[in-house]
């Protein structure tokens, strides 16, 4: 058994696709219409294009518990997920220059350095660098 895809809830798939590809640098992998408004939409890391796919899931639009959970995480300031990076400060600087909003600036916490940003689609995402 292996992980091939993991979902992240997004409020607007088109906006999420633009943010995750144009700002974060992921690559669109799959874009399959499911109905008139929704798509099976995935992105992958350019560093591992055959790796785990991130599904940009329109769950908050169609499943109230998902929206409630997403809102509760955001209100509490908790990240929905995390992405590993080689250098948190460099990624923070790059994303800040592109207009990305951070709720937590680069911060060392023991053996890691983290930063947390708003993905503009209802989620906080944590960047992590292992020191």
pTM of the entire structure?
A: 0.95
Indicate the class that CATH gives domain 5-130. Answer: alpha beta
Strands 53-57 and 112-118: unpaired
* pLDDT for 124: 98
Would you write out the chain's pLDDT as a tens digit for each of its 131 residues?
999 999 999 999 999 999 999 999 999 999 999 999 999 999 999 999 999 999 999 988 889 999 999 999 999 999 999 999 999 999 999 999 999 999 999 999 999 999 999 999 999 999 999 99
CA distance readout (Å), 110 to 17, 55, 113: 34, 31, 8
Q: CB neighbours (10 Å) of residue 86?
A: 9
pLDDT for 6 = 97
Domain boundaries defined on the chain: 5-130
């Amino acid at each position: 058994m292996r992980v091939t895809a993991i979902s992240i809830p997004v409020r607007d798939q088109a906006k999420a696709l633009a943010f995750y590809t144009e700002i974060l640098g992921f690559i669109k992998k799959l874009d399959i219409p499911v109905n008139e408004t929704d798509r099976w939409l995935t992105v992958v890391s350019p560093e591992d294009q055959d790796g785990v796919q991130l599904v940009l899931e329109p769950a908050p639009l169609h499943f109230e518990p998902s929206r409630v959970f997403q809102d509760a995480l955001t209100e509490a300031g908790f990240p929905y997920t995390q992405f590993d990076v080689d250098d948190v400060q460099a990624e923070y600087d790059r994303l800040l220059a592109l207009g990305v909003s951070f709720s937590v600036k680069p911060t060392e916490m023991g053996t890691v350095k983290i930063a947390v940003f708003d993905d503009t689609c209802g989620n906080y995402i944590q960047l992590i660098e292992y020191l």
